[in-house]
Structures are given as structure tokens and as C-alpha cells.
Amino acid sequence: MGIFNALNTSVGGLQAQSYALQNISGNIANAQTVGYKGIGTSFVDLLGDASSANRQVAGGVSAYSQQTISSQGTIGASTVATNMAINGDGFFSVQRQSGKTDNQATFSGVTNYTRRGDFQINANGNLVNGAGYFLMGVPVDPKTGNPLGNVPQVLQFQNNFVPAQKTAAITYAANLPTTPTTIAKATATAGTITAAGGLNTADFAVNPTVAGTGTVIANDADTFQKQSISGGAVTGYDATGAPVQMQLRWAKTDSSALGAGHTDNWNLFYQSNPNATGTEVAWTNAGTTFTFTGGKLTSPATASITLANVSVGAASLGNVALNVGSGGLTQYSSTSGTATINTISQNGYAAGQLQSVAVSDSGLVIGTFTNGQNINLASVTLSHFNGTNYLQSLEGGAYAATELSGVAIIGSSGGINGSSLEGSNADIADEFTKLIVTQQAYSANTKVITTANTMVQDLLNVLR
């Protein structure tokens, strides 16, 4: 009986080693597959029946799959902006297309999970990986940046359109010269405000600095240009998305260089009507006197002022906040005598249509629009499992939840790397080593069969 048991045990050994060889060959074949998780082989001994411990004999062997899903592959850079890799624990939520209606993909509603992140945008605006799985996430309101719900859905970015946004704020930072170099300064009488690079209200038919809210009429525009310096320009947008050119100029209204009782004061103006004539208003005072002491802005004390009822020509912007921040506006000596504009930007834009999408390192899908805006469109959802290595493998590097893996838990300790891909975790050198061991074990089992056969033949020869 022992000889025949040995034959059966060796056949089981051959089957186990064949099973291991199949896993090894699959791992080697997928050494370059994005997000592939190798399958190891676990051998379990099978004990024969024995009435007592001292009659126990070595039994057979059985082979089982051993998942390595929790083992991460190497992350490498990708030139595709929508490719992404998970660094650490976690899975992308995906769905497989079940059909098509009106040339749009339809889905069964069954969510699977994958680490294969080679997603690219298809003709319908879906992000689909190389195995045909559609990415899921939570859409984001392009105006507020807030998520639209918390339930992941198949993402689609087809012909996304962002409406125009009116300019509501201008961010501004500049250094104004201690002594402005104006055109009028060169011929001004020594000791006057004009000689100090400032604005002489006596030269104007209408005082542009009255109560800090004055205006410059068209007849005085040339004088104003000669007694002020450029403050830069910025293109804003009205409610319809039409561009509005805002020209800024600074006029010094008082100077500490004039002696005791004088301080360094400036008024900011914007051009409200480029085509003004006669007594029509051409430039409008921003309505605030900016006072500097020792080069630092001391008044107004706030980091933001409001430009009330701003209009340029026929375009109206309404109230616009001018944000200078802390230390953004200074008055230090400048050899050129001109304003040095460090920052000038605004928050409005024209309407635009989606041109392309990319994925950031924070897992946000960012759309680039024809108006030059980069706007968050969606947040990619990651999930994790308590029993990761008990997930059921599906075709194309995807997995389904099982009773042993537990249900998917929204959220993950891992993070997303944009423009990256996770490679296979199968190590060819390691697989080749396993291949040699498996080959030798298989050969050894065949040797046992040959030996057992020889013993049986010897037994039969006794009867001759």
C-alpha cells in the first residue's frame, strides 16, 4: 500500500508544482502590465489517516493562490496628464460598460476596484483605463469648488462650459517712488508739489482730489497725465464676460519733501472713459488717500479698499475690491521715479469651453478652458478594504469585494500621484528563482514516480 500511496502523493505533487508554474508564468507575462498584482502559490500538506501519532506518515500536498494585492509596484512618471498612481493603500472606484444608448455608455451599477491608473479621456468625455474600466468620482461645482454630493459616480467631462465671472476683486502690489518722475516735474518751480513730482490741483478746472473722490475731466486729462505716473493696467470682465481694460495711475497729492506739516499722500485713479471729451469724466479717483511713513503704508489700515460703482465706458463692473494685502503697497526710493508693479491680477474671466483635463497630486480633475481658466471639475474617489488580499480578481486588473475582504470603505491612507503610473509588483528575478525551484521540485516528483514504478516491477518479478 505504501508504494501506491507514494505514486498518488507524487502525482499530487506534480499537480501542485504545475499550479505554481502557471502562477509564475502569469506573473512573468504581466511584468510590464500597469498596476498588475502578482499571484503567489501557497502549499498546504495533506495528512493521511493514522490511529496514533507514531504511525503518522507524510501526506500529500495541495496548492492555493496567494494574493499580493497589498504589495505596491514601482511608481514611475507618465507624460499623459490623466494618468495617475496610488501611493500607498487604496483603490480607484470603477465601473465596466454594460451597453450603449445614443452613443453613450451605460452601466450595470456594479462598482469594482482597481489600481490600474492609465486613464485617458475618450470621445464622450469619460476617463477610461487601458482595461476598459470607467473612473468614478465626485463632481465639483466649478464656481464654488465644493463637491456636489458624496456618492461616487462615473465621471464625464463632455463639452463642459463655465459661465463668465464678473471681476469682483483686483490683487495689487507695487512700490511707489519717493519722488515720482513726472513730465511736469522737469519744468516746475522749486519747492512746489509739482516739483516734488506731485499733482497741483490749481492746474485743474475741476479739483480731482476733492474729499478723495474727485474726477479728472477730459479737458484736464493732458495735465493729469503730465502730473501723475502709470500704475499699471489689468483686463477685467463684466457680467457678460466682455473684457474691460482698466488703466491705473498714481498721483502724489502731498510730499514730506515740502517740509514740516507735509506727509507722503497718494491718490489712485482709474480711467473711466477713454473716449471722454470736454467736461466729461475721463479719470475717476478711487476714493482713498494712501499715506506712507518711512516707506510703509500707514493709511488706510485695512488690506483692502472698495472701488465703488466702477465703470469703464459702457461696461459696468460694480463694486470692486482692491486688495493690497500686508506690505503689498510701499513707497521706497526708486532711481527711475516710476511705480514698480509687483502684482496686478483680477478674478474675473470670460465664458469658456473645456479644452483638456489633467489630474493633480491631490486627486482633483482639473479642466483647462478656452478662456485660460484652470478649474476643478471633480475629485477622484479612493476606497480601501479591511481584507485587501481577499478581493476577487477580475479581468483587466480589477477586483470585486468578497465576504472575506469586507465591503469597500470610502477613503484611503494612500495618496494620488498625477501624471504617474504604478508598475507591476512582479519581480522577474524573484519569479525566475521560483521557476528554478518549481522545476526541480517537479523533476523530483517524477523521480519518485519512476522509483515507485521500479519497486513495483521488482515486486512482480518475485512471482516469476
Rounded Cα distance between 349 and 53, Å, is: 84
pLDDT value, residue 259: 92
Pick from 388, 425, 430, 393: which is nearest to 408 by CA?
388
pLDDT tens column, 67-124:
888 888 999 999 999 999 999 999 999 999 999 998 899 999 999 999 999 999 999 9
Cβ 348 vs Cβ 166: under 8 Å: yes
CA angle 261, 225, 349 (to 5 degrees): 105
**Predicted TM-score of the model (pTM):** 0.72
Those residues with Cβ within 8 angstroms of residue 316's Cβ, 6 or more apart along the chain or in another chain: 238, 309, 310
pLDDT value, residue 56: 61
Question: Quick one: pLDDT band at residue 149, thresholds 50, 70, 90?
Answer: confident
In the chain the domains, ranked by start, together with CATH numbers, are 2-71+427-461 (no CATH), 75-157+373-422 (no CATH), 169-346 (2.60.98.20)
Rounded Cα distance between 433 and 194, Å, is: 88
Q: Helix (H, G, I), strand (E, B), or coil: what is residue 181?
A: coil
Question: Quick one: pLDDT band at residue 13, thresholds 50, 70, 90?
Answer: confident
β-pair partners for 378 = 139, 365
Rounded Cα distance between 397 and 390, Å, is: 14
pLDDT value, residue 444: 86
Q: Is the dihedral of CA 352, 353, 355, 360 positive or negative?
A: positive
1, pLDDT greater than 60 = no
